[in-house]
Amino acid sequence: MQFIRKQFPVMLAFVMGMMMFIREFVPAKFSEQLYYGFTDWAIVIVGFSAVFAILSLLHHHMNKVRKRAQGYGYSIITILAFIQMITLSLIFSVRPGTPGGWEYQWLFVPMQATMFATLAFFIASAAFRAFRARTWEALALLIAGLIVMIGRVPIGEFISPHLSTFADWIMNNPSMAGFRGIILGVALAQIAIAVRIIFGIERTYMGGGD
Amino acid sequence: MRNLIRLATSVAIALTLLLCSAAFSQESDVELPDEPLAAEGDELEALEGADMVIGLEPAADEPPAVEVPLPTHVTVSDLPNDDGTGLVVEFEKAAGETEALTYTVSVGAGPDGPWREIGSFPATKKWKEEVGHYFPGFFWFQKGRADMSSRFHLFVIQDQGDNVPLETGIEYFVKLTASLDGVSRDYAETLSAAPAEQWFDTGRTNVLILAVLFGATVLYFIARARRDPNLFIRKISGLDAVDEAIGRATEMGKPILYLNGMSSLADLSTLAALNILGRVARRVANYESKLTVPCRDPIVLTVAQEIVKAGYTDAGRPDAYNADDIFFLTEDQFSYAAAVCGIMMRDKPAANFFMGYYYAESLILAETGAGTGAIQIAGTDASTQLPFFVTTCDYTLIGEELYAASAYLSREPLVLGSLKGQDMAKVFMMVMIIIGTLLMTFGVIFIKDLFKALG
């Protein structure tokens, strides 16, 4: 049992990790077939895990209702919405024009758009916090931010034709240099964590820590 | 006096001779050939030899004759570094190529067709140096050459949806046609080749060498850490604050909210987030606090449940583990954001952890959390979302710090050793950037291709 829980997953991670690494350098058809074969496996696993996810969702909300936990009314709505959507979809399918399709198009999509639209207000409040010039760094951020913002809108061109050029320079030089530094560090860190996982040095993700 | 007369006479004779020789040399420049003019048939033969087609001599009111230049040195060969489904047509640019000239490539099963047109392109396109495949002897040391007088066109025949797929090992015949102002001319020879699959992508040799070198460096430092476990790792404030955040939540009697990001388990940043979750779970169990982990991905959910359970068990508190605290919300991006915001507003967690990969919802989550007064620690490698987290969170693990977090929190020498290896690779990269910048400044550009995957 200990072998199945501890050693076997490490061995599996090593074999699969090395296989996928070598595959990157093999252009032959076999390599592609191997990749798509494993992708198919992943789809099957996701299919099974979706059942666990649904059970987890229902269990969580039913527990809240049973315990009359704070906000349990939302849990009732979640359970009812889940049951009616499943029922309607099974009976009428989810194509446009069916009750399930109607609910998706006229309830779900507008609610999603509403949530996305709130981002504008969050950006405004976050910008207010970020642009308080308390330190020299914050002041530099404020000035750079203002130049980029004004340089990207038509009024910037109206104030000075050089503003958009300067905004582009900020984005393409200091900003890009910073981003590339981050990306380079991330790439190296990803290789390091991949080596740790493939060779079984990092095992926290399997549970049980060390 | 006599000497003076003698000198003047000599100079006059010399000048006369010089003028005479100059006059003769001018005459020889304009001298007509001794041979008679060539016959008309001979002239046409000579022009055919020059790879040109010239129409009949035009009448006074007819348009001028169309000359269709044909390329030279045409070859057809197997496409290198592919799965055996491609051929490549290569030819040197013809003299007098213009934008109006187009080349058409056709493929047939036999030397006499039937032909199927694969593609057509103007003579100013499809240059060898623009094609991403690795062609030995061209990239790396010749790509940036200054002399472009003998450029080569390169056309790759590979199934692009509508075209006929090529099968490995079967010989295909290729016809090249040049067209100009409605006049077409085929290349005299029909060439053939059979696609073959390769088992090693030579265009990625540099990637393989660097990956192996880097992997070996990491493993070397891990082995060194086994001998000498006293490794210095710089302070990461965001990770030092983990204990502070958990302690604060315990004092306030409020839960801790931990998010694993929006990606699946296939993403390394999600794995890094789950690694940190294991360390956080152990500390939370020690402090006897409550940990809430809403998940977006079903597989991440099952892994997160296992990790938290193991963390509680390792801390000696398996009884405190509640599987219901690690639950699935939804796979939809903004529905997930709305649900998490709801949890933040209702439960008012004392500490929020945003680890892993995030998209546009990052600011919605972090700003809502900031509004509830929670201490917030974020860690992501999503460079576009970093500014939002930096603005709204108390501590942010930027890029690679997310991956170093697990090693930093565990303080295990073996895992810390890999961070040292990572730092060595960074030093190497910095040195190469400096050398590369200097070489590029002085016009040596092959170094750029040494670090590029050509495949």
Do A146 and A86 lie in one domain? The reply is: no
B101 CB neighbour count, 10 Å cutoff: 21
User: How far does CA A88 lie from the centroid of its chain?
Assistant: 29
Asked if A57's CB is within 8 angstroms of B328's CB, the reply is yes
The full set of domain ranges for chain B reads 72-193, 202-228+416-450, 237-411
- If residue B355 lies in a helix (H) or strand (E), which one and from where to where? strand B351-355
Distance CA(A59)–CA(B326), nearest Å, equals 11
In a domain, A100, yes or no: no
Distance CA(B108)–CA(B92), nearest Å, equals 22
In a domain, A105, yes or no: no
Do A72 and A157 lie in one domain? The reply is: no
Asked if B307's CB is within 8 angstroms of A52's CB, the reply is no
Asked if B271's CB is within 8 angstroms of A193's CB, the reply is yes
In a domain, A125, yes or no: no
Do A79 and A142 lie in one domain? The reply is: no
Residues of A in contact with B86 (CB under 8 A): none
**Closest-CA residue in chain B for A194?**
B268
Do A77 and A155 lie in one domain? The reply is: no
Domain boundary among A43, A61, A92: A92
Identify the CA nearest to A182 among candidates B225, B147, B389.
B389
Q: Given CB atoms, is B274 within the 8 Å cutoff of chain A?
A: yes
* Amino acid identity, position B56: L
Do B169 and B54 contact (CB within 8 A), yes or no?
Answer: no
Do A206 and A12 contact (CB within 8 A), yes or no?
Answer: no
* Amino acid identity, position A159: I
Distance CA(B142)–CA(B69), nearest Å, equals 26
Distance CA(B260)–CA(B291), nearest Å, equals 13
* Amino acid identity, position B21: S
Whether the per-residue pLDDT at B163 is higher than 70: the answer is no
pLDDT of residue B166: 85
Q: Which of residues 5-34 of B touch A (CB under 8 A)?
A: none
**Closest-CA residue in chain B for A54?**
B328
- If residue B272 lies in a helix (H) or strand (E), which one and from where to where? helix B268-287
Do A2 and A82 lie in one domain? The reply is: yes
Distance CA(B253)–CA(B238), nearest Å, equals 22
In a domain, A140, yes or no: yes
Query: Residue A53 is nearest to which of B301, B335, B429, comparing CB atoms?
Result: B301
For residue B136, say if its preceding peptide bond is cis, omega within 30 degrees of 0.
no
User: pLDDT tens digit string along A33-55?
Assistant: 999 998 899 889 888 888 989 99
Domain count within chain A: 2
Distance CA(B173)–CA(B161), nearest Å, equals 20
The residues pairing with B107 across neighbouring beta strands, listed in sequence order, are B116, B174
Distance CA(B272)–CA(B410), nearest Å, equals 13
Q: Given CB atoms, is A136 within the 8 Å cutoff of chain B?
A: no
Q: Given CB atoms, is A118 within the 8 Å cutoff of chain B?
A: yes
> Per-residue confidence at B136, pLDDT binned at 50, 70, 90?
low
User: pLDDT tens digit string along A98-111?
Assistant: 998 999 999 999 99
Do A19 and A204 contact (CB within 8 A), yes or no?
Answer: no
pLDDT of residue B292: 95
Domain B237-411 architecture: 3-Layer(aba) Sandwich (3.40)
Integer angstrom CA distances of residue A45 from A51, A117, B58 = 10, 35, 75
In a domain, A139, yes or no: yes
Do B173 and B111 contact (CB within 8 A), yes or no?
Answer: yes
Q: Which domain holds residue A21?
A: 1-92
Q: Given CB atoms, is B373 within the 8 Å cutoff of chain A?
A: no
Residues of A in contact with B329 (CB under 8 A): 57
Lowest mean pLDDT among A117-131, A176-190, B1-15: B1-15
pLDDT of residue B37: 38
Is B72-193 a domain of CATH 2.60.40.10?
Answer: yes
In a domain, A108, yes or no: no
pLDDT of residue B31: 40
**B72-193 and B237-411 agree in CATH topology:** no
Q: What is the ipTM of this complex?
A: 0.89
